[in-house]
Amino acid sequence: MTQALSVGITALGTYVPSKVVTNHDLAQLVETSDEWIVTRTGIRERHFSAEDEFASHMAIHATENMIAKHGSAVLDGVDLVILATSTPDALLPATAAIVQNHFKLKAGAFDVIAACPGWMYALSAAAAYVKSGMAKKVLTIGSDALSKILNWEDRGTLVLFGDGACAAIVEAVPEGYGFKSFVLGADGEGAKHLNMRCINTTLPDGSPLTEKVSMNGREVFKFAVRVMSSATREAVAQAGMRLEEIAYFVPHQANFRIIDAARSSLELPLDKVVSNVERYGNTSAASVGIAMREALDDGRIKDGDDLLLVSFGAGLSWASSVLRWHVKTF
Ligand code: ACO
């Protein structure tokens, strides 16, 4: 990212459904225990959407939360909506268009499907649109209702996920602020480790796709630890920085053991790591945004802080970025 225009996030809102599901609740459904889930993942509870609550509803609530935090002018001039999700309301239309219509925005709208790193892919696309001049202000959303696509009999996946959304404005920021790097990666060889059927019933190699999410937890775990460290190092190097200069490491909240293994391999102190996986589980495309918002709300992230965002997921895929936080008054 060498062009002169600096682009960053100027507003951020989040939403999680009101229904809290504890580990004890899940232990009523499958053979598991609070002790097993906490020890293996760090997760204690998560939020599940209501029966009639989908990605578009959560995206709209997250955008309303952004308006509540930053003021009603925050949506003025939005000319593009990008929404990352693996659980769109429908295949047609794009969930982004439902959000566009709700807020009556004079904007284009499309969805991004890139699993858990989807919001980071969306941020990179938004930044590129603004840098190129093709858009000025992009409403960039991550919204996922993974509870709707889980196999409720599979304890290996059921305990890991929660629902939620985040909504951000990506636009020009003062020089020196904003995104300093983006690293995007994918390895489709790993498709077999984490997938779910849509129209086709098999992967290209003929292996069957299941009706609900299926995952080889051990393989994804190893991949995640490896890629969280390497993608972090790459994003920091691409930004021309050193790891010690990063104020906060804001990783995808999938499993605290994954976060801590990456932290340890990067030799980062624990107080630089933002983690709330304990209360939300893995909210997929929303997870980095929800973690970032909490660290803003509790005063940890301040104007001028350099943040390292990193995520991974199905694909297999990953994304990382260095972002210098800018506080804008609307
Ligand atoms: N409760 C009790 N026992 C369980 C549970 C559970 N909820 N889940 C699995 N087990 C059992 C397994 O059946 C296995 O039993 P066995 O030895 O008799 O076969 C045993 O526990 C150990 O299983 P492992 O898979 O080795 O356990 P591990 O320590 O690897 O933890 C976990 C499993 C938590 C799933 C871990 O592998 C993990 O977090 N992987 C990464 C998952 C992830 O982050 N996915 C998100 C991808 S993001 C996206 O794009 C959707």
Nearest CA to ligand 1 atom 37: 217
From CA 191, how far away is CA 208, in angstroms rounded? Answer: 11
**Active-site residue (options: 116, 166, 193, 195):** 116
Nearest CA to ligand 1 atom 29: 40
From CA 308, how far away is CA 271, in angstroms rounded? Answer: 14
Is 198 known to be catalytic?
no
Do residues 40 and 221 make contact, with C-beta atoms less than 8 angstroms apart? no
**Those residues with Cβ within 8 angstroms of residue 283's Cβ, 6 or more apart along the chain or in another chain:** 16, 46, 144, 146, 161, 162, 163, 164, 165, 253, 290
User: DSSP readout, 130-169?
Assistant: HHHTS-SEEEEEEEEEGGGGS-TT-HHHHTTB-EEEEEEE
Query: What backbone torsions phi and psi does residue 142 show, to the nearest 5 degrees?
Result: -120, 125
Taking only the tens of pLDDT, the chain with its 330 residues reads 445 699 999 999 999 999 999 999 999 999 999 999 999 999 999 999 999 999 999 999 999 999 999 999 999 999 999 999 999 999 999 999 999 999 999 999 999 999 999 999 999 999 999 999 999 999 999 999 999 999 999 999 999 999 999 999 999 999 999 999 999 999 999 999 999 999 999 999 999 999 999 999 999 999 999 999 999 999 999 999 999 999 999 999 999 999 999 999 999 999 999 999 999 999 999 999 999 999 999 999 999 999 999 999 999 999 999 999 999 988
Q: Which two tokens stand for residue 231?
A: 């993608």
| Ligand 1, atom nearest to 156 Cα | 8
Nearest CA to ligand 1 atom 20: 156
Is 166 known to be catalytic?
no
C-alpha 40 – ligand 1 centre gap (Å): 8
**Those residues with Cβ within 8 angstroms of residue 218's Cβ, 6 or more apart along the chain or in another chain:** none
Cis, bond preceding 308 (omega within 30 deg of 0):
no
Nearest to 272 by CA among 241, 252, 248, 296: 248
C-alpha 262 – ligand 1 centre gap (Å): 18
C-alpha 177 – ligand 1 centre gap (Å): 40
| Ligand 1, atom nearest to 255 Cα | 39
Sign for the CA dihedral angle at 109, 113, 119, 124 comes to negative
What is the CB < 6 Å shell around ligand 1? Answer: 32, 36-37, 40-41, 115-116, 155-156, 159-160, 194, 215, 217-218, 220-221, 224, 254-255, 258, 282, 284, 313-314
Sheet holding 7-15, edge to edge: 7-15, 163-172, 137-145, 80-84, 108-112
From CA 46, how far away is CA 283, in angstroms rounded? Answer: 9
Q: Name all domains of the chain by residue range, CATH numbers in brackets.
A: 7-172 (3.40.47.10), 178-324 (3.40.47.10)
C-alpha 254 – ligand 1 centre gap (Å): 12
Buried b (16+ CB within 10 A) or exposed e, 64-73: ebbbebbeee
Is 116 known to be catalytic?
yes
From CA 232, how far away is CA 307, in angstroms rounded? Answer: 11
From CA 87, how far away is CA 40, in angstroms rounded? Answer: 26
